[in-house]
Copies of this chain bind each other. A is one copy, B any other.
Amino acid sequence: MNSAAEQEIRQLIDRWIQAVRERDLPAIVAVYADDIVAFDAIQALQFKGKADYKAHWEMCMGMCSGPMVFEVAQLTVHASGDLALAHWLNRCGPADDESQCGFMRASVGYRRTGGQWQVIHEHWSAPFDMQTQKALFDLKP
């Protein structure tokens, strides 16, 4: 248990969530390590490297134009040595129609290099229904 490191990770997540709400792409990708491997919820199995994942974020930002709900729930942070792991449920959707908002799952790995925490891995997803194979967005925690 390293509560100072956990506190740093929680603050980093707070700032990052705010950057996503503000569609501030440079601030979103500033925390990513050059060798990040990301499993995003849509489109591809994985994105390898900061440039590849940044291009994906740019495409996503282009799809959502209006004000956005992007909220962290049930955040858990583990940290030891120079490694940290956070996971949470993330409420997402259009701010002008909260009936369309749903929960995604986020798991993020962090590595401390030269005193600075960077994201080395992200995993975002929605679970899917076995019968219809469709993503489930109406589940409540």
Contacts and interface: CB of A to CB of B under 8 A. Distances in A.
A42 B128 contact: yes
Copies of this polypeptide in the complex:
2
B83 A128 contact: no
A119 B139 CA distance: 25
Interface residues of A, number: 45
A141 interface: yes
B78 A39 contact: no
Given A46-B141, A135-B128, A39 B85 contact: no
A80 B76 CA distance: 18
B107 A121 contact: yes
A79 B83 contact: yes
A93 interface: no
A132 B135 CA distance: 9
A81 B78 contact: no
Contacts of A41: 125, 127-128
Interface of A: 2, 37, 39-46, 63, 74, 76, 78-85, 87, 89, 103, 105, 107, 109, 111, 120-121, 123, 125-130, 132-136, 139-141
Given A46-B89, A83-B84, A132-B134, 8 more contacts: A42-B128, A43-B130, A78-B109, A80-B80, A80-B81, A107-B121, A128-B134, A134-B134
